[in-house]
Amino acid sequence: MKNSNYSKAKILTILPIFIMVFVVISLVLAAVLEEPNSRGALYTIFALVGLIGLVVTPLPCLVMTILGVVNASKAKKEGVKGAGVFLILGIIEIIFSILVGIFAAMISIGSQYA
C-alpha cells in the first residue's frame, strides 16, 4: 500500500506540469487565433491568460514542486517503490520553473524598452 507521502508527492509534482501545459496551450491558441482575425476577443482572452499565467505561475508551481520533492524524499526514505521517479521529476521541474521565471522576468524587463 502506498503511503500518504507518496500520494502527496505524486499530486504536488504532477499538478504544476498540468498548469504549465495549460499556459502553453493558451499561448499557442492565441498565436493561432491571431492570424485569421487580429481584432477578436477570443484571441485577446487566450493571450491574456497565457501571458498572465507565464508571469504568475512559476512561483506557486515552484513551491508545489518543492513540497512534492520533500514528500517524495520522505517516501523514498520509507522504502516506497516509485518515489524516486517523482523525486527526479521534481528536481527537473524545479530547474524548469526557475528558467521560466527568468524568462518571464526578461520579457517584462524587455517590454519596458520596446
Give 74's pLDDT tier (boundaries 50, 70, 90): very high
Q: Grid coordinates representing 76?
A: 523514498
pLDDT at position 114 is 64
pLDDT at position 61 is 87
Q: Give residue for cell 521517479.
A: 85
pLDDT at position 36 is 67
Q: Give residue for cell 498548469.
A: 19
0.85 surpassed by pTM? no
Residues 6+ apart with CB under 8 A from 3: 75, 78, 80
pLDDT at position 57 is 84
Q: Grid coordinates representing 1?
A: 500500500
Nearest by Cα to 55 from 13, 26, 79: 26
| Angle CA 31–36–42, to nearest 5 | 60
29-42 pLDDT tens trace = 888 877 766 667 77
> Would residue 82 be called left, alpha or beta, if left means φ above 0 and alpha means ψ between -120 and 50 degrees?
left
Q: Say whether pLDDT at 88 is over 90.
A: yes
CB-count exposure of residue 114 (10 Å: 0-12, 13-18, 19+): exposed
